[in-house]
Amino acid sequence: AQKITQTQPGMFVQEKEAVTLDCTYDTSDQSYGLFWYKQPSSGEMIFLIYQGSYDEQNATEGRYSLNFQKARKSANLVISASQLGDSAMYFCAMREGRGSTLGRLYFGRGTQLTVWP
Amino acid sequence: DTEVTQTPKHLVMGMTNKKSLKCEQHMGHRAMYWYKQKAKKPPELMFVYSYEKLSINESVPSRFSPECPNSSLLNLHLHALQPEDSALYLCASSQPWANTGELFFGEGSRLTVL
């Protein structure tokens, strides 16, 4: 079974609108971390936001917020006020166990976001 | 600007060549990673170094040989590669004891094997 599922291969959004990128995860660990990364065409993976399994509040970082629904095992990324520079591939990822362990990151297949003027 | 620097950004090599990819970070991180990414696919973990010791090898073929000379440097030595090894190779680093454990990635080295 896949540990991270991203069901949207591509998403389109108009500039200045908000967009939600879906992510569901599968783990039996009580302690885990969820990440979103952005990958522009240049190739670099840019860390956007982190949510720990014990965090009660949804994580926010500027225009990015993570809609964490633990019971549903979902960790959707919300980008508010989209900009043309947001066009990129977005990956959801999960680390099992505590951060102090060298757990590998499990990545989803990614969602290609295109922002149009 | 990324704090993880990878060189070269592009590399073309024949199947009989020997080449190396280099990665450098100055964030004081003690864990470093190599990932391989094919087009339109997520990154796949290859190797993990922790405190300069190899801790994870994801059954990578021996034609890929990692090396961690010190806590800031990570190399990937390439020898007798196949065309299917053409991919983006991403280096990443993290702090092993960090509560969140996020990885910081470089821009990658795009490898083409002819």
Size of interface A-B (CB pairs under 8 A): 67
CA dihedral B104, A40, A83, A12 (to 10 degrees): -120
Q: Do B102 and A35 touch (CB under 8 A)?
A: yes
Q: What is the rounded distance in angstroms from the CA atom of residue B40 to the CA atom of residue B93?
A: 23
pLDDT for A99 equals: 58
Cβ count near B42 (within 10 Å):
22
Among the partner-chain residues A44, A50, A99, the one whose CB lies closest to the CB of B105 is A44
pLDDT, tens digit, 9 for 90 and up, residues A40-92: 998 889 999 999 999 989 999 999 999 999 999 999 999 999 999 999 999 99
> Token pair of A55, please?
């965090």
CB contact under 8 A, B96 and A102: yes
| Locus of tokens 């102090």 | A100
pLDDT tens-place string over residues B22-80: 999 999 999 999 999 999 899 999 999 989 999 989 999 999 999 999 989 999 999 99
CA distance A22 to chain B (A): 16
Contacts of A100 in chain B (CB under 8 A): 96-99, 101
Which residue, among A60, A8, A68, A1, has the nearest Cα to A33 in the 3D structure?
Answer: A68
What is the spatial distance between Cα B85 and Cα B13, in angstroms, rounded to a whole number?
Answer: 11
Residue A84 distance to chain B (closest CA, Å): 19
- Of the candidates B42, B50, B107, which has its C-beta nearest A91's C-beta? B42
Is the distance from CB of A35 to CB of A92 less than 8 angstroms?
yes
Q: In 3-state terms, what secondary structure has residue B84?
A: helix
Place A37 in a pLDDT band, splitting at 50, 70 and 90.
very high
Q: Which of A44, A104, A108 lies at the smallest CB-CB distance from B108?
A: A44
Q: Which residue of B has its CA nearest to A4?
A: B42
Nearest to B73 by CA among B29, B16, B9, B10: B29
Q: Which of the four pLDDT bands, split at 50, 70 and 90, describes residue A104?
A: confident
Say whether B100 and A52 touch across the interface (CB within 8 A).
yes
